[in-house]
């Protein structure tokens, strides 16, 4: 039973996340030879203030655009 965990910056729509779940599950089924019901996908969403790129928070980068 595969468990696939992904960490992203929060802000995606429910539709985007549901599409991601479907596509990742399809790939796991095809490549790992498992049934879709066996695949678990977890999205961990992180606020932009808790995400750093080059030592600067993503929230700060976005604010300075």
Active-site residue set:
2
d(CA 65, CA 61): 7
- Token representation of residue 43: 């999205």
Cross-strand pairs, 53: 56
CB 16 within 8 A of CB 6: no
């Amino acid at each position: 039973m595969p468990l696939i965990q992904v960490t992203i910056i929060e802000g995606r729509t429910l539709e985007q996340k549901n599409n991601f779940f479907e596509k990742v599950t399809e790939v796991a089924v095809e490549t790992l030879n498992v049934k879709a019901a066996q695949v678990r996908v977890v999205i961990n969403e992180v606020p932009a203030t808790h995400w750093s790129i080059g030592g600067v928070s993503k929230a700060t980068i976005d604010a300075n655009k």
